[in-house]
Amino acid sequence: MDLLQQARTEIDAIDAQMATLFERRMRAVADVARYKAQTGKPVFDAVREAAVLDKNTARLQDEALRPYYRTFLQEAMAVSRAYQRAMLGRDTAAYQGVQGAWSHIALRRLFPFSRTLSFATWGEVFDAVQNGDAEFGVLPFENSNAGDVSTVLDLLYTHPGLIVARMCDLPIRQDLLGVPGASLAGVRTVISHPQALAQSSVFLQQHGLATQAWSNTADAARHIAELNDPSVAAIASAETADLYGLKILAAGVNADGDNTTRFIVIERADEAPVMTGEGQRLALLFTARHEPGQLAAVLDQIGARGFNMECIKSRPLPHVPFEYYFYVQLVCPAGSTRADCEALLDTLRTDCSTLRLVGAFTLDTAEK
Ligand SMILES: C=C(O[C@@H]1C=C(C(=O)O)C=C[C@H]1O)C(=O)O
């Protein structure tokens, strides 16, 4: 037997044992789900997951394998949560747009087992989560080229009952799609969502193409398929080309090769977000008094306590002319604990007029 065959025989034997252990783990997980059904407890328990990760990675003798095992366990727990949610009927995830839209693609990668609900507007997604029609909502938050999705931030501000449960980065490749028989040379008009058009403005100018704004990228693809006019193209994902029988006339038309959209997952705040420190991001919404140095005092505290502020956004306060609220996202420092996070929030409460912890989560990538 050569080395490959030998190693694969060993892997097969291990996989056979792991299949048995997987079933055992999932049976125990089902018991946990039954307990949660009786008590109404949330499926996700950040404190327990952090403990499971720490305890088990420490068991590995080979230190180099620890980060890999950590990811392995994280995946196992994600699968366990998905199973519990399906058992409990708490697995509906909402998005804005139609099948094939970027929000839908992000949702499928984040919640591969969930039932999906689509809505025409971001506001309806927030409302669906708030009133319990959906457990989660997946929404775009920021694009590395086109910038903030300010409406979603404002909706977060105006829905105090909701929190950010997760955040993930999805690399976006926008393609120019046409009907079968179309060619780039024959295209005159391109329709898409204004943000997709903005991300592709260099390409559109280079080719002298007129644009028309559409409600979302996937629906633009559906529309041009129906129109069946080779002079009208859409900018959307390759997934939508498959969905509506279109062909890719030009791939990757977005200006920056490194085009990434950051999505948030919202859920109801049955409890305040659970801070565990190291490895987490904290998202805060606050207002500061109109006094000299007030905002600087808030930011000073964040820095002095070792939290790295990776972004700050400022938006007009809804219904209060020329007053603003701020959104900051902080990276918890290495070695920090729940107590460090709480100490920071306590300090900030004295400097801010209002302060809301809108999320304590890990940032992940939805890349396959
Ligand atoms: C199984 C549970 O539910 C979830 C899944 C976990 C797991 O698979 O180990 C741990 C914590 C929870 O987020 C639990 O609460 O123990």
Per-residue pLDDT, 339: 96
Of 26, 267, 255, 249, whose CA–CA distance to 134 is shortest? 267
Q: Which of 34, 38, 49, 53 to mutate to test the pocket of ligand 1 (most atoms within 8 A of CB)?
A: 49
Q: What angle do CA 132, 139, 233 make, to 5 degrees?
A: 130
Per-residue pLDDT, 254: 86
Angle, to 10 degrees, between the axis of helix 3-39 and the axis of helix 66-88? Answer: 40
Per-residue pLDDT of the chain (368 residues; tens, 9 = 90+): 799 999 999 999 999 999 999 999 999 999 999 999 999 898 999 899 999 999 999 999 999 999 999 999 999 999 999 999 999 999 999 999 888 888 999 999 999 889 999 999 999 999 999 999 999 999 999 988 778 999 999 999 999 999 999 999 998 889 999 999 999 999 999 999 998 898 899 999 999 999 999 988 999 999 999 999 999 999 999 989 999 999 999 999 987 657 899 999 999 997 889 999 998 999 999 999 888 899 999 999 999 999 999 999 999 998 888 889 999 999 999 999 999 999 999 999 998 999 999 999 988 866 54
**What gap in Å lies between CA 139 and CA 142, rounded to an integer?**
10
Question: Where do we find the tokens 């046409």?
Answer: 178
Structure tokens given for 354: 């209002």
**What gap in Å lies between CA 365 and CA 171, rounded to an integer?**
9
Shortest-distance Cα residue to atom 7 of ligand 1: 77
**What gap in Å lies between CA 103 and CA 101, rounded to an integer?**
5
**What gap in Å lies between CA 327 and CA 153, rounded to an integer?**
8
| Amino acid, res. 325 | Y
| Cβ(316)–Cβ(265) below 8 Å | no
The reported pTM is 0.84
Q: Is 55 in the pocket of ligand 1 (CB under 6 A)?
A: no
**What gap in Å lies between CA 254 and CA 75, rounded to an integer?**
32
Structure tokens given for 271: 């409890």
Per-residue pLDDT, 366: 60
Angle, to 10 degrees, between the axis of helix 338-351 and the axis of helix 294-304? Answer: 170
- CA 55 / ligand 1 centre spacing (Å): 14
Domains observed in the chain: 3-88 (1.20.59.10), 91-172+259-271 (3.40.190.10), 178-249 (3.40.190.10), 272-368 (3.30.70.260)
pLDDT over 70, % of the chain: 98
State which H helix or E strand residue 198 sits in: helix 194-199
Q: Is 45 in the pocket of ligand 1 (CB under 6 A)?
A: yes
Classified as helix, coil or strand, 214 is coil
**What gap in Å lies between CA 219 and CA 101, rounded to an integer?**
8
State which H helix or E strand residue 116 sits in: strand 115-119
Question: Where do we find the tokens 């409990």?
Answer: 88
Per-residue pLDDT, 321: 86
**What gap in Å lies between CA 364 and CA 267, rounded to an integer?**
17
Residue 358 phi/psi, 5° resolution? -95, -10
Q: Determine the atom of ligand 1 nearest the C-alpha atom of 44.
A: 13
Shortest-distance Cα residue to atom 16 of ligand 1: 32
Classified as helix, coil or strand, 35 is helix
Shortest-distance Cα residue to atom 8 of ligand 1: 77
Residue 310 phi/psi, 5° resolution? -90, -15
Per-residue pLDDT, 270: 79
Q: Determine the atom of ligand 1 nearest the C-alpha atom of 80.
A: 8
